[in-house]
Structure 1
Amino acid sequence: MTFNADPVTFINLAFCVGVVALSLWWYGKTKSRTPLFIGLAFGLFGISHTFILFGLNRQYEQIYILVRMAAYAIVALGLFFIALDVIHRKKAEDDLLHANEELRAANDQLRRSAAELKNNLEELNRKREELAESEKKFRSIFNSLIDLYFQTDINGTILMASPSLKLLSGWEPEELIGTNVVALYPDEKQRRALVDELKRNGRVQDYLVRLKNRAGYYINASVNCHIIRDSDGNPVLIEGTIRDVTEKKAAEDALSLAQKKLNLLNTVTFQDIQNAVFSLNGYLELQQEEIPGEVQKDYVTRERELVGTISASLNFAALYQTMGQNPPGWQNVHHAFLYGISHLNLPDITRTISLDGLEIYADPMLENIFFTLAENVVTYAKGATEISLTYREDEDGLTISFADNGPAIPPAMKEKIFERHYERKRGAGLFLAREILSLTGITIHETGGPHSGARFDLRVKKGGYRFAGNKDSLHG
């Protein structure tokens, strides 16, 4: 074995050793198959160069050839795997580019979606502000409603009520929500009739019912409501408004009653005047005959009386016709009394008034009634030094008493003084007083005892009076 110091072969060997070393370093960093193939191939090339340096290539030619062939085979195999890696990398790059394009498209879509989302968010905020403003306006309207707005389920359970419930009934909305509306109906049949009408027509308008307020008094109410149905057409809610028409109905009833009374008065007055005119014509016919002077004077006296009767009938009709011209309303009893007696001279009569801010629902002519009562004291209650105006309340209503300490009214005269044709002409004022009070359901009677002077009691039903000031108001 001889050493062949060929510089080219020596350089090739050194190069192969360097490549093997680099391949090992490369594999250590990447764990890739490529540096293994390169290192193994150049390792075999290095072995073949060693054969040449030591002259073994001739002696072991077959081994030398196998080593070189193995090296080339490994290079070919390495190139094959490198080609596969390149193909795979190319595919991966293509996939990456495609994915990048998709990502870019997705990013663009995301930007557009973000812009749309921003616009939607701005629109949502604007709608939310509009909704808040709308809700604020609705709440303002809801809280300022005079009529009662309500919602109930189909069985009558109260779900919602506006604050005007307090004014209408005395209850706070929170007290009634969750309870059944049937408790507010004095007559449950009215509730059933209302629901039946609703089921038939789907709505009711200006439907009159009678309700009960917190104090137990009755309210005349007008109901406007309709049924709300679900998507399947099944009734689920009742929604509507309730208006307190107690005063309106009382005014209508008073006007109707006044019209009936005026029609009756017209008939009676016409008959009275017709009778007086017939009698007057008779006396005038008699006067045309030759009769003694004293008899003629008697005829003239009677004629004057008949003319006075006609005049009185006409004056009374004029006064009576003013009754009911103006609608009734809440009248402060103390004020009406003071206005009434302000037209009279009562220097020697003391007054005791205890009314606690009492108001009654009556015709505006209420002060005329107190004028009539006080005038009767001045005119007929000789020796009276005191009048009083007081009230007392019981479970059925309230009584206002006007009393004096003058002579008592005999039992036989207690009702007669309210008749229109009271023989001594003392009852016309009291007749009118009773008629005026009756317009709003108030009665008046003389109830004085035999030794306690005259006393006139005005009886007011529940719901027809209330108290201003410290006492709770009573509406009905």
Structure 2
Amino acid sequence: MISSEKHINIETNTNLLSSNNSNIWELILDDSYKIVDLSHSFIKSFDLDNYSISEIEIKLKNNFLKSFINALSNKKEIFKAKLFSGNQYYKFFLNEIYHEDRIFYRILSYKQSEENIYKSIFESFHDVYYRTNLNGEILLVSPSVFERAGYNPEELIGSNVINFYRKIKDHKELLRMLKEYGEINNFETEFMKADGSICSVALYAHYVKDDDGNKIGIEGVLRDITEQKNNEESIKRYIQELYETKDTMEQNAFELVKLNLQLEDSENKLQELNANKDKFFSIISHDLRNPFSSLLGYAEMLYVEFEEMSKVELKEGIEIIFKSAKSAYELLTGLLEWSRVQSGRIEFKPENFSVNSLIDELIALNNLITSKKKITVANNIYNNINVFADKQMISTTIRNLLGNALKFTPRNGSINITADINNNSAIICIEDSGVGIKPNDLEKLFRIDIHYTTNGTSNEKGTGLGLILCKDLIEKNNGKIWVESEFGKGSKFFISIPLYIDAGVS
């Protein structure tokens, strides 16, 4: 009989199995595609109490595991599969997790209505998300359609998607492929914008099904690849000219190299967008859902067992609900702020301001935390250094770095803030006497494709987005951010900011 207890712990002291929600099925597979654990709800839903894990693997082999491996090889975050010998298809969400230098795969399935939790996040989606009924009438479209194609999203509701295809035959081909394969990846076609111009798009789409497996609509994501296609066409034209005009071969070769560099740059940007999308869906399917699961679980327990619970038990439940809601809010706030930076919707407003004064303001904002943990924070910037940068962005960056220093510094510790001048830049250093960072973790800190977060010395929670946001904001100000750390002794975080040319040091 399979135990429904969770038994594997990762570094953050949470479980690989992430949900107690009875409406969510969850499986954990290792890098050999072997089942490591199953959620209690999955076991109960399919009467598997009397089966061993190896017996369940045999039952899943023909249908589910084949679909999972296919999704993994095609880098799909969403896939559909049958379970056991039934005819009903289920929608699954797939993401990678890391434990002790190994990759594990968390696979979840839940009711369609739960996706409404993430509606506010999709409003900041960079590509265009849409959903139609089976007749092609648009039911939902992300606000990004205005920036990408010039359409007001509200005016598109009820319109038929076929009206936006440049070639109707492409829409017919898409429906044919959907009918044959169930979903489509990177289907290239052309759409008409509101101003009448044409854009090239790569389209991902699949059927939406109800709880009984009946097809009720189609949903998908459109990515504008016009620039990439234009570069490809330009390269084709120049290659042809090289063959036709031998006298200008050297000049055309030079132009070809330039265009290849442009194409490489375009592909790199596309890869970066894909990495952002992967991070986006990883946070949606894992990090954001965890606090909601705790919040809903304990709220339900309070609702059902309120009369039988003692005051101590009630206080513990309310505290967990508060912490879960706070964690979800902080993660959602960070995610939306990061999304605004990625989509270029934060206006850059550089100005002349004093670093010393800004540091004093930020230290004062953290007086409550420093008093609680008895940490000494010293502003040792003796010169009046003025910089020319976006003050709000720099304030957000230093506030994040100071917050991290407070989080990872134990009681009675110290934080020292200094600044120096190097050429035309101010170098600000925030040094703490905290726990430090392991050498193999340093390279993970600023990477968007690796989710890295640890608890503070008082078990403070993090979102894993703070340092990534800091890096983006500093780079927008033509600066740099880096770190030096010795595990067990503390860390030094540095940022460089352009000096105010007429001020310098007084």
Give the TM bin, normalised by the shorter chain: 0.3 to 0.5
Give the strand-richer structure, 1 or 2: 2
Compute the TM-score of the two structures, normalised by the length of structure 1: 0.35
Structure (1 or 2) with the greater helix fraction: 1
Query: If the length of structure 2 is used for normalisation, what is the TM-score?
Result: 0.33
